[in-house]
């Protein structure tokens, strides 16, 4: 028995990413993804409505982790400290065993406008989840929206660095670092 | 001869918005939009690839106005002052004659996830245009990305206020006001 057995969803994500990388997103069918994963098309459709959604896998989990991270931050935490806690919580889902997915995801998205669109929508979802969680802590708008946008920007920048095979840092550490850089930059904007 | 003759593109946008409002986005066909505008389907397709793109009409113009506004800002302008100039320039496209479109656009987008997606993508495009223009002024990243995100957030908030029929202020004024609120909120985040 293998020490680590990826679950069905992850097998589909890996198969899709490999095919998108090898032959392009447009040229890849759901049937091919299922076959590569050693699964049936109907199993694919139990997990994803279409091939585009494969790249947004984990959005719900990420939203939940971000929201829970904000809710669990100490009551004295500032909005940005709460966002930092959220990024730490979300980074926990990006385990070392999944690090090889990072560069593939970045490359596949960069090569296809339909996936860039889905990725943009995902970021909007993450920002909304954080805004909502911050508001529940009593952070008023626009501070809540702004802190959430900073969080999303930090996470995006951190993920790009994490996806660089030359980088050895953990995603959570990179996210905190990116958030700090944004704070410093923010002070010099006006 | 009418004093103000909307061009073909604007006729299509108005017809689409009216139909989306009356019968829903999903229930509206391109043929109906063309008919309502008193135009043919092939004229529609000369202007837009599909009905979804109608709501993103003007994105290219907006991107250009934002980029030009940033480029034309005084060389001593801070990144946020350059963004404020960009928002002013972009607001110029939202003439009083088009103000009635504001509430319809907001309502139609709020009612349909496919349009929210397109709108999210539009905002990503606007942010990219501003980031690029700021970088050309020598603003380094992440300051450029951050200032651009603040600009997009300010513009979005200003548009929502502008779309409120009870509001009498100009969009440019509302955008500057929103940007100022974001700056104030930004200082209190950490």
Reported as a single tens digit per residue, the pLDDT across B123-132 is 889 999 999 9
Residues of B in contact with A153 (CB under 8 A): 142, 145-146, 149
C-beta atoms of A120 and B124 within 8 A? yes
Average pLDDT score over chain B:
91
C-beta atoms of B153 and A145 within 8 A? yes
User: What's the CA angle centered on B184, arms B180 and B186, to 5 degrees?
Assistant: 110
C-beta atoms of A150 and B147 within 8 A? no
Closest-CA residue of chain B to A84: B190
* pLDDT of B2: 44
Given a cut of 60, whether residue B76 has pLDDT beyond it is yes
Q: Is A182 on the interface with B (CB under 8 A)?
A: yes
In chain A the first and final C-alpha atoms are separated, in Å, by 59
Closest-CA residue of chain B to A187: B187
Given a cut of 80, whether residue A82 has pLDDT beyond it is yes
The percentage of chain B sitting over the pLDDT mark of 70, rounded to a whole number, equals 97
Given a cut of 60, whether residue A179 has pLDDT beyond it is yes
C-beta atoms of B121 and A121 within 8 A? yes
Mean per-residue pLDDT, A92-116? 88
* pLDDT of B35: 97
In 3D space, the residue among A135, A163, A162, A167 whose CA is nearest the CA of residue A148 turns out to be A135
C-beta atoms of A178 and B80 within 8 A? no
Instruction: Name the residue facing A185 among B142, B153, B183 (closest C-beta).
Output: B142
* pLDDT of B6: 61
Q: pLDDT band for position A86 (50/70/90)?
A: very high
Mean per-residue pLDDT, B15-36? 96
Reported as a single tens digit per residue, the pLDDT across B133-179 is 999 999 999 999 999 999 999 999 999 999 888 998 999 999 999 99
Given a cut of 80, whether residue B39 has pLDDT beyond it is yes
Are A155 and A179 within 8 A, CB to CB? no
Q: Is A132 on the interface with B (CB under 8 A)?
A: no
Given a cut of 60, whether residue B1 has pLDDT beyond it is no
Q: Is B151 on the interface with A (CB under 8 A)?
A: no
pTM: 0.85
Given a cut of 70, whether residue A2 has pLDDT beyond it is no
Closest-CA residue of chain A to B141: A185
Count of pairs with CB atoms under 8 A, one residue in A, one in B: 77
**Residue spans of alpha helices (H) in chain A:** 8-23, 30-36, 41-47, 51-54, 59-72, 79-91, 101-110, 113-136, 143-162, 171-187
Give A4 to chain B, closest Cα distance, Å: 36
Mean per-residue pLDDT, B3-32? 88
* pLDDT of B55: 86
């Amino acid at each position: 028995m293998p020490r680590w057995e990826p679950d069905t969803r992850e097998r589909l994500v890996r198969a899709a990413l490999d095919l998108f990388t090898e032959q392009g997103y447009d040229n890849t069918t759901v049937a091919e993804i299922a076959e590569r994963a050693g699964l049936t098309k109907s199993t694919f459709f139990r997990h994803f409505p279409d091939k585009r959604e494969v790249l947004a896998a984990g959005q719900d989990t990420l939203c939940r982790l971000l929201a829970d991270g904000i809710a669990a931050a100490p009551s004295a935490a500032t909005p940005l400290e709460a966002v930092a806690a959220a990024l730490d919580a979300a980074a926990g889902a990006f385990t070392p065993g999944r690090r090889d997915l990072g560069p593939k995801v970045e490359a596949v998205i960069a090569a296809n406008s339909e996936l860039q669109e889905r990725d943009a929508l995902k970021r909007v979802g993450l920002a909304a989840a954080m805004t909502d969680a911050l508001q529940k802590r009593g952070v008023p708008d626009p501070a809540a929206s702004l802190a959430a946008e900073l969080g999303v920007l930090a996470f995006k920048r951190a993920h790009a660095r994490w996806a660089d095979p030359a980088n050895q840092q953990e995603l959570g550490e990179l996210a905190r670092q990116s958030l700090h850089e944004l704070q410093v930059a923010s002070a010099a904007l006006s």
